[in-house]
Amino acid sequence: MANGAELAAAGPELEASVEDSEKADEPQIANNEHPEDVPITPTANGVEVHWGFSLPDLYRIALKFYKEKEGKAVHLGYAEKCALVGVTQQVTHGPFDPTSTPPVGVLDVVGKDRRLAWQALGPLTREEAKQQFINKVTDLVPTFRPYVEALWADKLEKERIA
């Protein structure tokens, strides 16, 4: 279980990692299909779609879900949090480059662990890092998939009404 200092320290880095991306056209599924029936990695108009959402949209949803639920409904271990921060750093800044990142303080043990998690990702692309973040949140937090399915159903209902 994490203490308050770890949670507070994770907040700014995760908030800084949210990036703006353009909305892509999303595929329509019939009203009688469930979101879990939709294949996880199809392409629609050249854009990868996951559970009905594009990869950038699903990443933003996963990041928002994690930030909002951490410490409340989501309780992850220290190593898991460091791994998620490393992946968000990879998405935000790309592969680790020691020449462009400031050094970690001597007494900053948490920062050092996060930096090591980021370095361990190697030359992973930003898209692969987004997918890895989504996969980690899906594996670690059992309530994430139903959350995404509810968002997709809500979106379909709003489109049906409009």
Q: Which amino acid is at 43?
A: T
Q: How confident is the model at residue 52 (pLDDT cuts 50, 70, 90)?
A: confident
User: What percent of the chain is modeled with pLDDT above 90?
Assistant: 60
On whether residue 23 sits in a domain, the answer given is no
On whether residue 96 sits in a domain, the answer given is yes
Look up the pTM and report it: 0.70
On whether residue 93 sits in a domain, the answer given is yes
Of 136, 95, 132, nearest to 115 (Cα)?
Answer: 95
User: What percent of the chain is modeled with pLDDT above 70?
Assistant: 70
The total number of structural domains that make up the chain: 1
On whether residue 114 sits in a domain, the answer given is yes
How many other CB atoms sit within 10 Å of the CB of residue 103?
9
On whether residue 140 sits in a domain, the answer given is yes
Rounded distance, CA 11 to CA 16, Å? 9
Question: Which pLDDT tens digit goes with each residue over 108-117?
Answer: 999 999 999 9
Out of 19-33, 54-68, 95-109, least confident range: 19-33
| Mean pLDDT calculated for residue range 53-64 | 95
On whether residue 78 sits in a domain, the answer given is yes
On whether residue 45 sits in a domain, the answer given is no
CATH number reported for the structural domain that contains residue 79 in this entry:
1.20.80.10
On whether residue 50 sits in a domain, the answer given is no
| Mean pLDDT calculated for residue range 57-82 | 94
Q: Which residues span the domain enclosing 139?
A: 55-162
